[in-house]
Structure 1
Amino acid sequence: MNIKRIGTVAAIAIVGAVALSSCASNEGGAGDNASGSSSSGTDYSKLSGTLTGSGSSAQQTAQATWTAGFQNVASGVTVNYSPDGSGAGRKNFISGAADFAGSDAALSDDELSGSFAKCAADSKAIDIPVYISPIAIAYKVDGVKDLTLDAKTIAGIFSGKITKWNDSEIKDLNKDASLPDANITVVHRSDDSGTTENFSEYLDANAKDVWGKEPSQTFPYQVGDAAAKTSGVASSMASASNAITYIDDSGAGSLDKAKLMVGDKATTISAEGAATVVADSETVSGRADNDLAIDINRTDTADNAWPLVLVSYAIACQEYKDSATGELVKGYLDYVVSKDAQDAAAKEAKSAALSSDLSEKAAKAVASIK
């Protein structure tokens, strides 16, 4: 299998490590993977062909992990995933340039009302959750290693209303911190981004008066520095000083991460906290039976909840014009939502594996693909 455009040396290293680990497991003859069959009965070893995926850069590490693992059970399949960003991925899928999309935002009603080039004439696309991850508020501030922010303060910073690190609103939340009298450098996404949409949904739900913008995949303010994709934001932060950004936790690297005020508690970012919020959320009403778009509970205040979370989807046709493509997409996504694949991605990307309930629903949705 070819793994193309994974994007970073670190991600390529992950691919190699996962592949070696999987090979070692297979040599030991462990479980279904050794026989090339899934727990759902799919015989991966009989699949052959090439799949093209495009989209979420937040999924980048997870996709590298999944494709490396899939190699060991479906050696006849090549999966090429390009982390172009969620917006670009959906556009590529809609136009037929990709067989499936990865997206940190589910398809909109407008997108669903249109046609999909790869889907059968009477078929639409469906959203299948494959990746749950907390979004970090990551920062580099001289002399500050412990920072707490709330939604109101985050909205003020990213809208350009709060411009200094020693602003009184930040100081009130961090009385023991040595906050410098320095300008805040905001780093945000330049491309249409599902991460941006999730970030703006959180601020709209928790600090609407300060944020003042409707949720969008496009960052709405002309402040700070803009960078494309998760990797671009991470690169910009690496060379910046006194800077702050929002970024999928898998891309935060060695950056410091702020605690988030959830209710009256300063909460540390965690995959478990992200999973708690998703478990407390409902699916979007009015969707097709196999569409599992999730209406995230952005105001969840359960213990250790992290409501600044993204649910990232695999977007596929319910029925493909080309049944062979449908068979490949179905096989790959069947692997992606499996417990082994979810646990492997959670380890490498610091994401949360799908809960047993959501995994069962996702597997059922995948099984419906034709």
Structure 2
Amino acid sequence: MKLNSIGKTLGTTLSAAAIAALTLSACGSDNNAGSTGGGSGGSSSADCGGKNSVTAEGSTAQQNAIAEFNKVWGQSCSGKNLSYNPTGSGAGREQFIAGNVDFAGSDSALKDEQIAAAAERCGGNPAWNLPLVFGPIAMAYNVPGVDKLVLNGDTLAKIFQGQIKKWNDPAIAALNSGVTLPDTDITPIFRSDSSGTTDNFQKYLEAASGGAWTKGAGSEFQGGAGEGAQKSAGVAQAVQATPGAIGYVEKGFADQAGIPYAQIDNGSGAVELTDESAGKAIDAAKFAAEGNDLTLDLKSLYGMQDAGAYPLVLATYEIVCSKGYDAETAEAVKSFLKVAANDGQANLSAAGYVPLPDAFKERLVTSIDAISASA
């Protein structure tokens, strides 16, 4: 099933407690997304039912987006507030399964071994993975004298496995006709902490390198080359401080640090990282199955060769009960998520995320509407 575009209508405000829980800076998972949707509808468009206080926990990649959604929700629905604890995706899934929070934020869908436990937590009903926040991963680099750089899945795989060691390597030069590349050592910078960004970057390399990446995926970096740095901010700082460095980091962190990032040739030519090019990739991605669980087929996203699509995009999910909440919780969770999917998209770009394309948003809202309380 094709994922089309996303876009517009939501509302919220951050309480002091939520602000304390959501102090962040750019996207990051420590994880973080066309024809972009904008989010015009006013507060009158919001359904403000249910309880006033909702709890969630998980991905640090989406925490800035969640803070924005919470602000808009409070603006649209006076008195509403989400308390979000950015402890990481794994912790978020565990706390949701334990019934300690109303929903989880996660850089990956529920794992196979978690599906049954999540259904038990939801009163015997399946939990759904709803992709709400997308953040492009930038290949930030520090190559003095090189203002424009093109790379692809093959060259990135070989750089991060230590097989391409110099910036003027013939494989890189072939992608950068007319650019004078220096005879400088390449220093790959990777996340030294467990990270959903690392997992998704390695999944991208698996899908896009034509078999060159042989190290597998996972939240720990497997490439064996380069230097590690803690968290997204650490990667950005390390690239900025190291001539010859390149690192994978959420776009918001690269923008904050003023670091350039490479274009990616997905097989149909070089693509610059913009909201439009990342949104085009989201639009062309596919869901893993039919129905209201919207787990993405990441191979279709990372391996795509659509012209003008920037494929290295991190999708983060809200994991919710399809059914099994009490009525007050069900209505409040739906209210928050619908505001986030609509009006909450308007200011995401400035924080380094990609607003949902319109058709994708419509598909997402259909799933949100289908969330219901226990019979």
Shorter chain as normaliser: what TM range?
0.7 to 0.9
Mapped partners of 2:273, 2:41: distance in 1: 34
Residue 313 (str. 1) matches residue 317 (str. 2): yes
* 1:4 and 1:82 in contact (8 A); partners too: no
- Give the counterpart of 1:70 among 66, 73, 79: 73
Cα 1:70/1:137, change in 2 over 3 Å: same
Flag the 1:90–1:225 CA change in 2: closer, same or farther, 3 A.
farther
1:327-342 counterparts in 2 under 5 A?
327-338=331-342, 340-342=343-345
* Aligned position for 1:271: 275
Residues 84-107 of structure 1: CA distance to partner in whole angstroms, max 9, x if unpaired?
A: 333343333334444322223222
Deviation string for 1:60-84 (max 9, x for gaps)? 3322221221221234233232333
Deviation at 1:125, TM superposition (A): 1.7
Q: Distance in 1 between matches of 2:177 and 2:196?
A: 34
Q: 2:112 aligns with which of 106, 109, 112?
A: 109
Which of these residues, 82, 86, 100, is aligned with residue 85 of structure 2? 82
Distance verdict in 2 for CA 1:77–1:226, change over 3 Å: farther
Structure 2 unaligned regions, length at least 5 = 1-14, 28-39
Question: What is the aligned counterpart of 1:326 among 326, 330, 337?
Answer: 330
Instruction: Give the match's secondary structure for 1:221.
Output: coil
Give, as a single letter, the amino acid of the residue that structure 2 aligns with 1:362.
L
Number of paired residues? 340
Q: CA RMSD in A?
A: 2.7
Identical columns (%): 34
Q: What is the distance in 1 between the residues matched to 2:144 and 2:41?
A: 50
Alpha-carbon distance change, 271 to 325 in structure 1, aligned in 2, over 3 angstroms: same
Distance 1:83 1:159, change over 3 A: farther
CA distance in 1, matches of 2:21, 2:232: 14
Is 2:316 aligned against 1:300? no
**d(CA) in 2 for partners of 1:91, 1:235:** 31
> How many Å apart are 1:244 and its aligned residue?
1.0
Take 2:154 and 2:162, find their aligned partners in 1: how far apart are those partners?
12
8 Å CA contact retained: 1:61, 1:348 = no
Rounded Cα–Cα distance in structure 2 between residues aligned with 1:9 and 1:155: 28
For structure 1, which runs of at least 5 residues remain unmatched after alignment? Answer: 12-29
Residues 327 and 264 of structure 1, relative CA distance in 2, 3 Å threshold: closer
What CA distance in whole angstroms lies between the structure 2 residues aligned with 1:82 and 1:223? 33
Q: What is residue 61 of structure 1 aligned with on the other side?
A: 64
Indicate yes or no: 2:3 matched with 1:3.
no
- 1:83, 1:223 → 2: CA distance? 29
CA contact (8 A) 1:51 1:328 kept: no
CA distance in structure 1 between the partners assigned to 2:336 and 2:24 by the alignment: 23
Structure 1 residues 111 and 120, CA, compared in 2 at 3 Å: closer, same or farther? closer
Offset at residue 31 of structure 1 (A):
5.8
State the alpha-carbon separation in 2 of the partners of residues 228 and 159 from structure 1: 19
Asked whether the equivalents of residues 151 and 262 of structure 2 are also in contact (C-alpha less than 8 Å), the reply is yes
CA gap of 1:31–1:108, structure 2 versus 1, over 3 A, is closer
- Cα 1:191–1:9 shift into 2, 3 Å: closer
Are the aligned partners of 1:84 and 1:229 in contact in 2 as well (CA < 8 Å)? no
Give the Cα–Cα distance (whole angstroms) in 1 for the partners of residues 247 and 217 of structure 2.
17
Residue number in structure 1 paired with 2:48:
43
Give the number of the structure with larger relative contact order, counting CA–CA contacts within 8 Å between residues 6 or more apart: 2
Separation in structure 2 between the aligned mates of residue 90 and residue 205 of structure 1, nearest angstrom: 26
1:259 is aligned to 263
CA distance in 1, matches of 2:337, 2:275: 22
Distance verdict in 2 for CA 1:323–1:222, change over 3 Å: farther
Query: Which of 354, 357, 360 pairs up with 1:358?
Result: 360
* CA shift digits 1:6-43 (9 cap, x unpaired): 344679xxxxxxxxxxxxxxxxxx9641x4x51xxx22
Higher mean C-alpha displacement, 178-187 vs 61-70: 178-187
- Paired residue type of 2:346: D
The 3 A distance-change label for structure 1 pair 191 and 102 is farther
After TM superposition, list the pairs within 5 Å mapping 1:73-222 onto structure 2.
73-115=76-118, 119-222=121-224
Q: Which amino acid aligns with 1:89?
A: G
> In 1, are the aligned partners of 2:51 and 2:328 still within 8 Å (CA)?
no
Structure 1 228/334 Cα, relative in aligned 2: closer, same or farther at 3 Å? farther
Q: Deviations over 1:182-235 (max 9, x none)?
A: 332222223443322322222112214321033323321333233344334334
The change in CA–CA distance for 1:215 and 1:163 in structure 2 (over 3 A counts) is same
Q: CA deviation at 1:365?
A: 1.4
Structure-1 separation of matches of 2:229 and 2:91: 15
In 1, Cα distance between the equivalents of 2:281 and 2:26? 29
State the match for 1:27 in structure 2.
none
Q: What secondary structure sits across from 1:278 in the alignment?
A: helix
Q: Distance in 1 between matches of 2:88 and 2:169?
A: 34
Residue identity opposite 2:163 in structure 1: K
